[in-house]
Structure 1
Amino acid sequence: MKNRISIARAGVMFAVLLALTLGTVLQPASAAGPATLTYGSKGTDVPDLQYRLKTLGYFNEQLTSYYGAVTRHSVLLFQRDYGLRADGIAGPATWEMLKKVSVNRNELDLLARIIYGEARGEPYEGQVAVGAVVMNRLASPSFPNTVKGVIEQPRAFTAVDDGQYYMKPDATAYRAALEAVRGYDPTGGALYYFNPDTATSSWIWSRKQVGKIGRHIFAV
């Protein structure tokens, strides 16, 4: 079960993550994939791990390049909540799960951009819902296994095709992105959405509809 945090803590975490996103430069993790991290590990994969745990509410300290006791404890809590072996080691299985349910700094940017491009005129719940659809697709074996792959999959999102995806998102889009990452899903598990006033695809109308938020119908 995903870790849920209070609204007050969510506000504080959003402010911290937004500051990190807009003003902190993190070195990218190795292109070969993240290393297995244990107590005492150092390197560029450590702050990536900490950032992902922070988006989920498990890590509440400043990012560092050192895998210390706080990081190990955060990993343990994450592992227990997600049914992983709770050994405090960020190995392949832990990284695989983290990448399905969390984002790194760049991915939070991408998520905020697609939310802003697709739903900036929608109510806040509708903006979170767009982010939730991305996260639901990320967790599904039927879609690409990265945030970038999901969002930039050909013809998946109108905002990518018409360029609105490349606009600078506002703070509300970042907040909605973070809530979607943290597990808030007002769609109830939707994998698709569309505007009934503009949709021309007969296929999207054939999907099972699960609700409507603002101008968007959500479907599975």
Structure 2
Amino acid sequence: MSYRLVILTVCVVFGLLGLYTLQHTTQSRETFSSATLKMGSSGKDVYELQGRLKALGYFNGKVDGNFGDSTKNAVTWFQWKFGMKSDGIVGGKTKLKLWNATKDWKPTAEDLPPTTGGNNNTGEGTSSGGTDKLPASNNLGFTEKDLKFMANAVYGESRGEPYEGQVAVAAVIINRVKSPEFPNTATGVIFQPGAFTAVADGQIYLTPNDKAIKAVKDAMSGWDPSDGCLYYFNPDTATSKWIWTRPQYKTIGKHIFCR
């Protein structure tokens, strides 16, 4: 009887350990992909790596998405400080340790990859029109940087929505910039903690297509299909109970826009 109890106990312990490992591996993949990062690597994961290392004070270089000597030195230092093998190679163990050390980290505009050009690491979305040409009727003083990140946000939040709905999402960002209740810059609004799902789940990294860019330009030019709304949500996916308390004004596509 005691032998069976020992076997059962061992099985339970290993089962719980497996669940713990799976849970934490899943958490680490909420941001990083499963790719191993090392000298010569580049792309979104390296931006993420450099941004998190910089937040901890290990990396002082430019967040440029290129894994060079300075990034390797930062990784090696981090690994040594946290009792890991200091080889400068970022595998699953290092990613998990870094994620746990920077759970509250949020990317700023400087931590994000540039979105001009065609392809990106995910293979989603292309743009041939560029994001560097502001509309002639831009009377709110938006910059080319604002246009770029607004297009990223619109693409990440609403690329499956009708065009009017995409313009409305861009208009909500602009309405928040104009409102005293929110940050007074486009990037401040977009990267406000908890404000946009695309920032939380990483879709802000995707390269916007021409449709998303045009939607932002139309909103900058004064078109506001939301009629001044400050909020929107998808009732099929919304998890916030608070958003349901907002006065609902109109529905465009799958999004309900609120005052």
- Specify the alignment match of 2:255 in structure 1: 216
- The one-letter code matched in structure 1 to 2:145 is N
Residue 181 of structure 1 pairs with residue 210 of structure 2: no
- Specify the alignment match of 2:230 in structure 1: 191
Distance 2:196 2:131 in 1: 27
Aligned-pair CA distance for 1:201: 1.2
Distance 2:159 2:204 in 1: 11
Q: 2:200 aligns with which of 157, 161, 169?
A: 161
Distance 1:218 1:137 in 2: 13
Q: 1:120 aligns with which of 146, 152, 159?
A: 159
CA 19–156 in structure 1, closer or farther in 2 if over 3 Å, else same: closer
Q: 1:57 aligns with which of 137, 143, 146?
A: 137
Q: How many aligned positions are there?
A: 131
Distance 1:161 1:201 in 2: 14
Describe how 1:58-97 pairs up with structure 2 within 5 A: none
For residues 81-128 of structure 1, what are the alpha-carbon distances to aligned partners after superposition, in whole Å with 9 as ceiling and x for unaligned?
A: xxxxxxxxxxxxxxxxx5xx2411111000100000000000000000
| Structure 1 residue matching 2:250: 3-state secondary structure | strand
Would you identify which runs of 4 or more consecutive aligned residues in structure 1 move more than 3 Å?
Answer: none
**Structure 1: runs of 5 or more not aligned:** 1-17, 22-50, 59-97
CA 214–102 in structure 1, closer or farther in 2 if over 3 Å, else same: farther
CA 105–201 in structure 1, closer or farther in 2 if over 3 Å, else same: same
Distance 2:220 2:136 in 1: 7
CA 170–188 in structure 1, closer or farther in 2 if over 3 Å, else same: same
Aligned-pair CA distance for 1:19: 5.1
Aligned-pair CA distance for 1:210: 0.7
CA 20–127 in structure 1, closer or farther in 2 if over 3 Å, else same: closer
- Specify the alignment match of 1:205 in structure 2: 244
TM-score, normalization by structure 1: 0.57
Aligned-pair CA distance for 1:57: 2.4
Asked whether the 8 Å contact 1:112–1:174 carries over to 2, the reply is: yes
Structure (1 or 2) with the larger CA radius of gyration: 2
| Structure 2 residue matching 1:137: 3-state secondary structure | helix
TM-score, normalization by structure 2: 0.48
Asked whether the 8 Å contact 1:56–1:181 carries over to 2, the reply is: no
Distance 2:219 2:204 in 1: 18
- Specify the alignment match of 1:130 in structure 2: 169
Distance 1:164 1:109 in 2: 14
| Structure 2 residue matching 1:211: 3-state secondary structure | strand
CA 190–168 in structure 1, closer or farther in 2 if over 3 Å, else same: same
Asked whether the 8 Å contact 1:128–1:176 carries over to 2, the reply is: yes
Asked whether the 8 Å contact 1:195–1:217 carries over to 2, the reply is: yes
RMSD of aligned Cα (Å) = 1.6
Identity %: 53
Distance 1:19 1:122 in 2: 21
